[in-house]
């Protein structure tokens, strides 16, 4: 990923959207990204900027902000508020996103954001969260965990678990039913959702009904088939992922812990986890580890479904430039439907 001129990317994507669904609808595995994604990548890879991993955290964060602001998206239909919760000696700021005009006590899902533990915040993820809230009818509690390198493993995951415990116990304070609770996240946020589900199982609660893992990080192995195939030129690169992991933890023993790399868990450790929907992208370095986690959950007897979206790249469902692409719409609808069904 290079520094992007976001308006150029948005224009390239808009020009391609009229034919974006062709490869996706065909059913066969695509040999190249779909039209909209190809337009995005052409604009991205045509820039002569330094790699994201060479920038300071502040400058890298601004790259994502600028890219997301470069495309107009629908942010209607939600009500947003902020508060700080106190749990287990931790103060964790959260952003609460409700369906607009909804009354009564609603089901709730925790949302843990992506960005390699370094980038990302609520504004960069607002459209993705909005889509899930509006389509599911559930409330999202977006956890503003402390990023890296300001904090290192396990600070962020402990904050994520603490926030989940608080919502389960004090949901009435924010108008949600803490007994109808799910965990959802994208990329490293998918890692955190998987890990919070593991922590809840290991530590005796809270009860989680569903885990939604969008193109998740599940391991620290940079030598999988998808890493080797898509390490450059497909938005998320191998050097970027190494940079992200180094900021989170350089300690090999910590990286091997199941609360950092849930794919390292045994089937016995995974047994009894809540149902999962895992979504992965065809042209993503993280594809193989996401699919491997789905297979391992299935082997452990967990109700797990893994869906691969052909023609797509990492974080296709997050990128505002691809918000109108057919795979993004399909992925958001599928995840929202699963949230709604599991939290009835």
In terms of residues, how long is the chain? Answer: 344
Domains delineated in the chain: 74-342 (3.40.50.1820)
The pTM of the full predicted model, rounded to 2 decimals, is 0.92
Q: What is the pLDDT of residues 201-237, one digit of tens each?
A: 999 999 999 999 999 999 999 999 999 999 999 999 9
Which of 131, 284, 288, 310 is labelled catalytic?
284
Distance of alpha carbon 193 from alpha carbon 124, whole angstroms: 18
**Is a pLDDT exceeding 90 seen at residue 24?**
no
Q: Look up 21 and say whether it is catalytic.
A: no
Distance of alpha carbon 209 from alpha carbon 182, whole angstroms: 6
Which of 187, 220, 261, 310 is labelled catalytic?
187
Which of 220, 310, 314, 315 is labelled catalytic?
314
Q: From the CB of residue 100, how many other CB atoms can be counted at a distance below 10 Å?
A: 12
User: Encoding tokens for residue 71?
Assistant: 């495309």
For residues 7-28, average pLDDT: 41
Q: Look up 284 and say whether it is catalytic.
A: yes
**Helix intervals (H) in 153-219:** 155-170, 188-202
Distance of alpha carbon 312 from alpha carbon 220, whole angstroms: 22
Q: Look up 187 and say whether it is catalytic.
A: yes
**Is a pLDDT exceeding 50 seen at residue 16?**
no
Q: What is the pLDDT of residues 89-139, one digit of tens each?
A: 999 999 999 999 999 999 999 999 999 999 999 999 999 999 999 999 999
């Amino acid at each position: 990923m290079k520094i992007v001129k976001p308006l150029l990317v948005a224009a390239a994507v808009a020009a391609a959207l009229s034919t974006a669904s062709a490869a996706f609808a065909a059913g066969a595995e695509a040999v190249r990204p779909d039209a909209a994604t190809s337009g995005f990548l052409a604009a991205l890879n045509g820039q002569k900027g330094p790699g994201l991993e060479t920038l300071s955290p502040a400058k890298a964060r601004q790259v994502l902000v600028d890219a997301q602001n470069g495309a107009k998206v629908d942010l209607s239909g939600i009500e947003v508020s902020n508060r700080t919760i106190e749990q287990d000696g931790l103060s964790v700021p959260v952003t609460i996103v409700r369906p607009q005009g909804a009354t009564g006590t609603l089901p709730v899902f925790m949302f843990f954001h992506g960005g390699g533990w370094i980038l990302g915040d609520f504004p960069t993820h607002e459209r993705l969260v909005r889509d899930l809230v509006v389509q599911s009818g559930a409330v999202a509690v977006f956890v503003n965990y402390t990023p890296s390198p300001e904090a290192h493993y396990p600070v962020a995951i402990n904050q994520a678990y603490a926030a989940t415990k608080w919502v389960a116990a004090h949901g009435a304070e924010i108008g949600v039913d803490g007994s109808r609770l799910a965990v959802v996240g994208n990329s490293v946020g998918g890692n955190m959702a998987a890990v919070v589900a593991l922590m809840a199982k290991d530590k005796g609660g809270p009860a989680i009904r569903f885990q939604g893992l969008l193109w998740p990080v599940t391991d620290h192995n940079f030598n999988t088939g998808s890493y080797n195939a898509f390490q450059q030129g497909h938005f998320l690169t191998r050097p970027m992922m190494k940079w992200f992991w180094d900021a989170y933890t350089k300690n090999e023993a910590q990286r091997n812990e199941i609360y950092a790399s849930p794919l390292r868990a045994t089937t016995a450790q995974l047994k009894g986890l809540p149902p999962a929907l895992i979504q992965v992208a065809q042209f993503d370095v993280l594809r193989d580890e996401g699919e491997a986690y789905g297979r391992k959950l299935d082997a452990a007897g967990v109700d797990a479904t893994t869906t691969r979206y052909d023609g797509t790249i990492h974080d296709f469902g997050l990128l505002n430039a691809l918000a109108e692409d057919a795979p993004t719409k399909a992925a958001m609808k599928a995840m929202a439907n699963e949230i709604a069904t599991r939290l009835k």
